Structure 1
Amino acid sequence: MRAALKEFPEFARQALGCNWDGLASALKPNGSLFVLGRGPSWAIANEVALKFKETCSIHAEAYSAAEVIHGPMALVEAGFPLLTLCARDAAYNSCISTSEKLAGEGAKAFITAKDVNKSTPIGFVATGHPLTDALCLVIPFYMFVESYARQLGLNPDQPPLLRKVTRTK
């Protein structure tokens, strides 16, 4: 972990160079999307799903790559968009397996891994530690989602019906 943290600024710079633009071809305005992860990458999957809803009006749902096969996968049909976020950890192979399974069922699957046959790899940075791997996944996503929202004619800094600052009583 210490080595990965020491090198994190460089890993973050590398993550800025990751291109996720291919994902746009699978997305539909006001459509749906599954975002999968496990462990640390599941936390990132939840953030990704929230930002897709907030900035792009896409109904994105985050699921554990282990749990999506117990019900939600029934919604997957030909062309259904799927984004699987893989950290290099104990769940790595499981995430790949789930993405490949759903791609085999017709999902338009994108994944942050190279060891795939049916899913489409998208850019990622392997940092040598699963926690910093997960952090480096969110960097190219933020760049992508801002660009995609603007392509849709939306302002990601002023989402409809949402306030960036909330007040609770």
Structure 2
Amino acid sequence: SSAEVRHGPMALIDADYPLLVFAPRGAEQAGVLSLAADMRQRGARVLLAAPDDIAERNLTLSRAEHPALDPILAIQSFYRMAASLAEARGLDPDQPRHLSKVTRTH
């Protein structure tokens, strides 16, 4: 929620702190868009993911047939983006460093 950001991690915001902000359709969208604008004014690098009717978006969120399903599409988009980013950095998202399929309890 945008309110949680305003009452917590605001101290972290500066030009070296990139933000990925999701603003799907719904009652919360206006508050999230306001937060993104405020963060830009504070100098943060904001990457705004929103539906195509939001002019200031950087990434377009797909719209589901029903707005309640939009978050599922947003999550799918995020995972595709994360995988592409890993590959662009020369990493294999299916073989992350320091990850073991075996958990040992001592």
Report Cα offsets for 1:96-124 as digits up to 9, x if no partner: 1111111111111112224355xx43111
Task: Classify the secondary structure of the residue corresponding to 1:135.
Answer: helix
Instruction: Give the secondary structure class of the aligned counterpart of 1:68.
Output: helix
Q: Percent identity?
A: 33
3-state DSSP of counterpart to 1:112: strand
Query: What TM-score comes out, normalization by structure 2 length?
Result: 0.80
Aligned CA-pair RMSD: 2.1
- The structure, 1 or 2, with the larger RCO (C-alpha pairs under 8 Å, 6+ apart) is 1
> 1:166 offset after TM fit, Å?
4.8
Alignment-derived partner of residue 37 in structure 1: none
1:125 matched to 2:26:
no
User: Which segments of 5 or more consecutive residues in structure 1 lack a partner in the other structure?
Assistant: 1-63
Match in the other structure for 1:85: 22
Q: Distance in 2 between matches of 1:128 and 1:95?
A: 22
Query: Given the alignment of the two structures, is residue 98 of structure 1 paired with residue 32 of structure 2, yes or no?
Result: no
What is the deviation of 1:81? Answer: 0.9
Cα 1:92–1:124, aligned 2, differ >3 Å: closer, same or farther? same
Q: Deviations over 1:71-105 (max 9, x none)?
A: 31111112421111122111111111111111111
**Which has the higher Rg, Structure 1 or Structure 2?**
2
Q: Aligned letter for 2:29?
A: Y
Q: Per-residue deviation at 1:151? A: 1.6
Which region of structure 1 is more displaced relative to structure 2, 124-133 or 102-111? Answer: 124-133
Contact persistence 2:47–2:58 (CA under 8 A): yes
The residue type equivalent to 2:9 in the other structure is P
Q: How many residues align?
A: 103
Map 1:61-76 → 2, pairs under 5 A: 64-76=1-13
Which amino acid is the alignment partner of residue 103 of structure 1?
R
Structure 2 unaligned blocks of 5 or more: none
Please give the alpha-carbon distance, in whole angstroms, between the structure 2 residues aligned to 1:130 and 1:166.
39
